[in-house]
Structure 1
Amino acid sequence: MWADLLPVGRDAATGGYHRFAWTPPELECRAWFLDEARRRALAVEHDPNGNMIAWWRPDGTEGREAVLTGSHLDSVPGGGAFDGPLGVVSAFAAVDLLRRRGVTPARPIGIGVFVEEEGARFGVACLGSRLLAGAIDPERARGLTDAEGRTFAEVMHAAGLDPQAIGPDEGLLARIGCYVELHVEQGRALHEPVGVASAIVPHGRWRFDFAGEGNHAGTTLLTDRRDPMLPFAGMVLAAREAAQRNGTVATVGKVRVEPGGVNAIASAVTAWLDARGPSDADVRRTVAEIDAAARAAAVAHRVGVDLAEESYSAVVDFDHALRDRLGKALGGVPVLPTGAGHDAGVLSARIPAAMLFVRNPTGISHAPAESAETGDCLAGVEALATVLADLAGGYGS
């Protein structure tokens, strides 16, 4: 399975992945998922938001609360191979392992794939799970645009889905008893093959729009310029300084400059800020300080600036009973928080959720060097199979 997925959407020059929601590489990954489900005779359910679930429903499990696992198949621009797909491949492998051992679950087990988890195409992370859980207004979601100006609604329609039907699926949520997501660890905090997540720290995304005046790079005096690149640069430096003061992290990793000519002063700059920290207050204070610095720099250079919050997730403290049950089933593996957002964090507002982490030896993520050792991945499959058997009331040999 891993070998089949590895080349899909991979940049031959950098080794990074470009699997954005409903683009050809991501659609190929979705087709792979459907093929793997068919090979195992798993029934696939499509919710109105583009999410997919492959169900293992042995006789006698109808009407019982299900155990859901899985992750996502999309990527950030130039991302790594493991972020998302490891959880999906491991879920299929865990089901295979349980079947080989003659274990039959007493509750349905589902393998889910959530759309647009990274937010790389439409700007809102965990969009599929947010829609399912009712954490984003469907009208706002329909109007989200990609870099080419195509709306989420238009892209969904082109994929054969009805954008007017998106939103919370209360019937589906009512059928799920809990969700366990396996994911590669996105740092260097895990020193054993497998761990359990305790919490997700607060995090969000903000958009800064700087409006200046386009002009000629060679004939416009410095004193006559209204260059939005200057307050933008000040904002980037302020982000580092504010993060250091408040014990948070703040990153500007995406910027759009108009008109983008080498010999032209920019007329507008749009920049996206990602901020995360140990508490809501720390993150909010960091963003407020960055905003104040950006506005002061904008005034100094006669440039306009607007700030918009595109998404925010407060601290997620995973269900303690479920978290402790996973730890007990796995014999006391490490428990650690994470600064990365996940579908499990979004869904935790509606259903008990938990996460398993697989060790990442480099600590690098969202980049081609993201990695996990084969032995650790297999330990993750064993751990997930153990957890699924425990939660689903498995019986047999």
Structure 2
Amino acid sequence: MWTELAPIGRDQGSGGYRRYAWTGADADCRTWFQEQAQARGLHYESDHNGNQWAWLGDPTAGDAVVTGSHLDSVPDGGAFDGPLGVVSAFAALDELRSRGVEFTRPLAITNFGDEEGARFGLACVGSRLTAGLLSREQAYALTDADGISLPQAMENAGYDPEHIGPDRERLARVGAYVELHVEQGRALDLTGDAVGIASAIWPHGRWRFDFRGEANHAGTTRLIDRRDPMLTYAETVLAARRAAELAGAVATFGKVSVEPNGVNAIPSLVRGWLDSRAADQSALDTVLAEVERAARERAERDGVDLTVVQESFTPVVEFEHALRDEINRLLGGQAPILGTGAGHDAGILSAAVPTAMLFVRNPTGVSHSPAENAAEDDCTAGVLALADVLEGLACR
């Protein structure tokens, strides 16, 4: 499975993946998922939000155990973030069948659409729509860098966007969702464990900072006469780093657009996107307040106008303790319990169904990069751990 999936959407120059929602690479990943489901005799369906489901047992019976992840990527992302959870889900089902177990609850494997938000700027679109955390109107307003709206992109890919929105009937069938994911950090590498269990997801969000100045000639405009928003943006980037260090949080300006984007032109607009995360809400609020304070102070000095827009926010997610404790018991009570600053579909769905996560060791801790990695032995350990969990939940 890994060999078949690996070439899809891979850029030959960077070695990273560009599997953006509702593109050709995304379609190829979806075809791969459907083929894997059909090869195992599973009932395949795509819901009205474009999420894929592969069912063993009656999908309408209720109290189902669901596992899976996503197949899309960030720009030049790694091979493991998302796909490891989907491949491991199919492999865990194969393992359970080889054990000859008898399923007493329905089992489903999922691929949630547009988890990374690389194309439309909002993470976990598929699961947000399903859980009712993103309205139809909000989804219809999402556009990519080329001005193509989310419904247009879905139509272009052969999907009908007319009925996107909450899927309460489907979620009512789910008794538990367990997502396996490569660790995005080095906690397991430091403890020497191949597999860990998630405790919580830090509160996190994305904010867009629009710095508006005045376009002018780079060679003839005196420094004192300039209203250069790039200066304000640069100071804001540094302020974010300082604020995060002081609060024990993280803050990143990882995306920027410039207008008119000419080498010999002072910009009229610099737009930067801030991603910030912290272990608790108070620390996150402190970081954002300090970054905005510093940005506005510098903007006033530079004669620049500033607008700050919150594009997404997810509060702290504490995974259900009862499910987490049961999973820990099924794994022998020895797996480390880890918090994480990365968002996941499991975190979004926790608002509607009991959810949990397993992490597989990442020896470098690198993620969202072509250097992202996990050893084959650790991936196998993850599959076996997931199989043990699914057996304990769905086969008792």
Short-chain TM bin? over 0.9
Match of 1:258 in 2: 259
Match of 2:56 in 1: 56
Pairs aligned (count): 392
Match of 1:105 in 2: 103
One-letter amino acid of the structure 2 residue matched with residue 163 of structure 1: P
The Cα shift of 1:62 comes to 5.6
One-letter amino acid of the structure 1 residue matched with residue 97 of structure 2: R
The Cα shift of 1:161 comes to 2.3
The Cα shift of 1:374 comes to 0.3
Q: Structure 2-normalised TM-score?
A: 0.97
Give per-residue Cα distances to partners, 1:189-228, cap 9 Å, x unaligned.
Answer: 1131111101111111000011111111111111111111
One-letter amino acid of the structure 1 residue matched with residue 341 of structure 2: G
One-letter amino acid of the structure 1 residue matched with residue 371 of structure 2: A
Distance 1:36 1:359 in 2: 25
Q: Structure 1-normalised TM-score?
A: 0.97
Stretches (4+) displaced over 6 A? none
Larger deviation, residues 154-163 vs 16-25 = 154-163
- Structure 2 gaps of 5+ residues are none
Distance 1:309 1:106 in 2: 44
SS at match of 2:326: helix
Distance 2:319 2:62 in 1: 23
Is the 2:214–2:228 Cα contact (8 Å) retained in structure 1?
yes
Match of 2:185 in 1: 187
SS at match of 2:234: helix
2:358 pairs with 1:360: no
Match of 1:204 in 2: 205
Match of 1:343 in 2: 345
The Cα shift of 1:94 comes to 0.5
Distance 2:81 2:107 in 1: 22
Distance 1:162 1:210 in 2: 37
The Cα shift of 1:160 comes to 2.4
The Cα shift of 1:64 comes to 3.5
The Cα shift of 1:281 comes to 1.3
Question: Percent identity, aligned pairs only?
Answer: 60
The Cα shift of 1:9 comes to 1.1
2:218 pairs with 1:245: no
Equivalence map 1:258-297=2 (5 Å): 258-297=259-298
SS at match of 1:91: helix
Match of 1:383 in 2: 385
Is the 2:364–2:372 Cα contact (8 Å) retained in structure 1?
yes
The Cα shift of 1:336 comes to 0.8
Distance 1:20 1:392 in 2: 33
The Cα shift of 1:141 comes to 1.1
Is the 2:194–2:382 Cα contact (8 Å) retained in structure 1?
yes
The Cα shift of 1:134 comes to 0.7
Match of 1:311 in 2: 312
Select which of 119, 122, 125 maps to 1:121: 119
Equivalence map 1:209-228=2 (5 Å): 209-228=210-229
2:25 pairs with 1:25: yes
Match of 2:71 in 1: 73
Match of 1:151 in 2: 149
SS at match of 1:135: coil
Distance 2:207 2:48 in 1: 27
The Cα shift of 1:159 comes to 2.0
CA RMSD of aligned residues (A): 1.1
One-letter amino acid of the structure 2 residue matched with residue 273 of structure 1: L
Distance 1:56 1:264 in 2: 60
SS at match of 2:117: coil
Distance 1:122 1:114 in 2: 15
SS at match of 2:171: helix
Give per-residue Cα distances to partners, 1:238-285, cap 9 Å, x unaligned.
Answer: 000111111110000000011111111111011000000011111011
SS at match of 2:48: coil
Give per-residue Cα distances to partners, 1:142-180, cap 9 Å, x unaligned.
Answer: 111111111111111222223231111011000000100
Match of 1:131 in 2: 129
SS at match of 1:103: coil
